[in-house]
Amino acid sequence: MPPRQVQPVPSPPRRSSPVPPSSRRRIMLVELPPAGGLFQFAVQLGEGLARRGQSVRVVTGPSPELASREQGCTVEPILPTWHPTAGADVPELWRKARRVVRAGQHHAAWVRLLLEIRRSRPDLVLWSAWRFPVDGWGVVAARRLAPWATLGIVAHEPRPLVEQPGQDGLYNDSGPTYQALRAAYGTVDVVYVLGERARQVILETWPVTGPVHVIPHGDEDVFRTGAPTSAGSTAPHLVFFGTVTGYKGLDDVLAVWPRVREQVPDATFTIAGSISADVDADALRRRVAALPGVELRDGYVAVEDVPGILARARAVVLPYRRASQSGVAHLAHTFARPAVATAVGDIPAVVQDGRTGVVVPPDDPDRLADGIVTLLRDPDLAARLGDAGRAGLASGASWDDVAAALLDGLPDAP
């Protein structure tokens, strides 16, 4: 299947000065799943690096959902992985058997990746997530196979989150995973994070010996097909976007929704995203069906469907209980939508209270309901905050800015 690609609004080309050959690097960005937020981040980062004269390969799995729009950056589906939500509706018995199959695919992907690193000899290899023991030990193997290369990670989450049923807590701190990731973080030459709090968590949690740099996230213009409409022009509609998993706190919004409807009787709410394995999907569907004005769009949201979902919103809600950063906040601002977000991780640095959205404490239903009502009731306020969020992305958070910060942070070759 060819990549699904939404063409963004044409804009003046952003080109850097010619890069001397000595500054050009062969960069490999590794993102095993060929779809989802981390993959989209990798492609847009790769495009930004290519505009700065670098030679970039985004190495991923089959049928990637995006192709590169920039010369000098290619998306290469050479790994035997899968789309993150493929087969999400299969019976539970098959789901368990599939985990065994996918574990084998994941290990095979690492073998293929290591062979490719050895063959192509990139100057820089960057990952975006390590979730399993094989990931950590794979990085250690890459170090041994490629002593010439600079190895690093853009750590979207400083600690791996629980994503499967049967695991307690919010972080996967199992012994095998922890030991493998300790080895990986002790091996790489550079770590990038998306906020100052994430940087502190990295330094407190892992034996990092190289530098840890904060870089901006970048916009989500890859989804945009036209100039964003004003948040003030919509009905009082709220959107929760992205995979529904426990740590994102959707339950907290559903719990206060009757209170929101009491104060904004025509308020509506769309939940758009696939349901993670750690959430009881049937229970969620029943709960949504019992709430007035709420719809659940269960399933992965294709790239071409994103603009329509965001265009309807007056506000986007991020009720996370734990998080480092969230691309959904940047997605909201890309479409000039304000966000109601909890004060966790580095999210308040993006969703700035009273400037680009409303920030409330986690686990505070009264403040969460008040924040939602505030934006749904006041279209002028929603428009003003949404426009400020959009303007903020253009000032210091473009992909050219991200690429420049990343290159500036690279250490000397090992």
Burial 85-122 (b: 16+ CB within 10 A, else e): beebeeeeeeeeeeeeeeeebbeebbeebbebbeeeeb
Predicted local confidence at residue 25, as pLDDT: 95
- Per-residue confidence at 163, pLDDT binned at 50, 70, 90? low
Burial 11-30 (b: 16+ CB within 10 A, else e): eeeeeeeeeeeeeebebbbb
Q: Mark whether 281 and 178 lie in a shared domain.
A: no
Q: Is residue 103 part of a domain?
A: yes
Q: Is residue 125 part of a domain?
A: yes
- Terminal CA-CA length for the chain: 39
Return the higher-pLDDT residue of 140 and 15.
Answer: 140
Task: Concatenate the DSSP letters of all residues of 46-72 into one string.
Answer: HHHHHHTT-EEEEEE-SS-S----STT
Q: Is residue 320 part of a domain?
A: yes
Provide the CATH number for the domain around residue 143: 3.40.50.2000
Give the range of the structural domain holding residue 258, as residue numbers without chain letter: 225-394
Q: Is residue 4 part of a domain?
A: no
**Contact between 334 and 306 (Cβ < 8 Å):** no
Query: Rounded to two decimals, what is the model's pTM?
Result: 0.87
Structure tokens belonging to residue 249: 């706190």
Predicted local confidence at residue 323, as pLDDT: 80
Q: Mark whether 74 and 32 lie in a shared domain.
A: yes
Q: Mark whether 94 and 179 lie in a shared domain.
A: yes
- In the chain, how many domains are there? 2
Q: Mark whether 233 and 364 lie in a shared domain.
A: yes
Arithmetic mean of pLDDT, 383-391: 96
Q: Is residue 314 part of a domain?
A: yes
Q: In this prediction, what percent of the chain has a pLDDT beyond 90? A: 75
Residues sharing a CB contact under 8 Å with residue 315, sequence separation 6 or more, in sequence order: 231, 238, 239, 332, 337, 338, 339, 340, 357, 372, 375, 376, 382
Structure tokens belonging to residue 116: 């490719």
Q: Is residue 6 part of a domain?
A: no
Q: Mark whether 275 and 208 lie in a shared domain.
A: no
Predicted local confidence at residue 325, as pLDDT: 80
Q: Is the pLDDT of residue 88 over 90?
A: no
Return the higher-pLDDT residue of 17 and 123.
Answer: 123
Q: Is residue 169 part of a domain?
A: yes
Predicted local confidence at residue 170, as pLDDT: 61
Gap between the Cα atoms of 239 and 138, Å rounded: 38
Predicted local confidence at residue 103, as pLDDT: 86
- Per-residue confidence at 226, pLDDT binned at 50, 70, 90? confident
Q: Mark whether 204 and 173 lie in a shared domain.
A: yes
In this predicted model, what pLDDT tens digit does every residue of 98-143 receive, in sequence order? 677 878 999 999 999 999 999 999 999 999 999 899 999 999 999 9
Structure tokens belonging to residue 333: 């601002």
Predicted local confidence at residue 324, as pLDDT: 77
Q: Is the pLDDT of residue 235 over 60?
A: yes
Q: Is the pLDDT of residue 174 over 90?
A: no
Q: What pairing do the DSSP bridges indicate for beta strands 212-214 and 237-241?
A: unpaired
Q: Is residue 5 part of a domain?
A: no
Q: Mark whether 105 and 83 lie in a shared domain.
A: yes
Q: Mark whether 200 and 296 lie in a shared domain.
A: no
- Per-residue confidence at 79, pLDDT binned at 50, 70, 90? very high
Gap between the Cα atoms of 350 and 217, Å rounded: 9
Q: Mark whether 316 and 188 lie in a shared domain.
A: no
* 48-57, 84-93, 240-249, 386-395, range with greatest mean pLDDT: 48-57
Arithmetic mean of pLDDT, 240-266: 96
Q: Mark whether 192 and 267 lie in a shared domain.
A: no
Q: Is the pLDDT of residue 239 over 70?
A: yes
Q: Is the pLDDT of residue 93 over 90?
A: no
- Per-residue confidence at 66, pLDDT binned at 50, 70, 90? very high
Predicted local confidence at residue 159, as pLDDT: 85
Q: Is the pLDDT of residue 167 over 80?
A: no
3-state secondary structure of 128: coil
Q: Is the pLDDT of residue 412 over 50?
A: yes
Q: Mark whether 62 and 163 lie in a shared domain.
A: yes
Predicted local confidence at residue 118, as pLDDT: 97
Q: Mark whether 255 and 208 lie in a shared domain.
A: no
- Per-residue confidence at 14, pLDDT binned at 50, 70, 90? very low
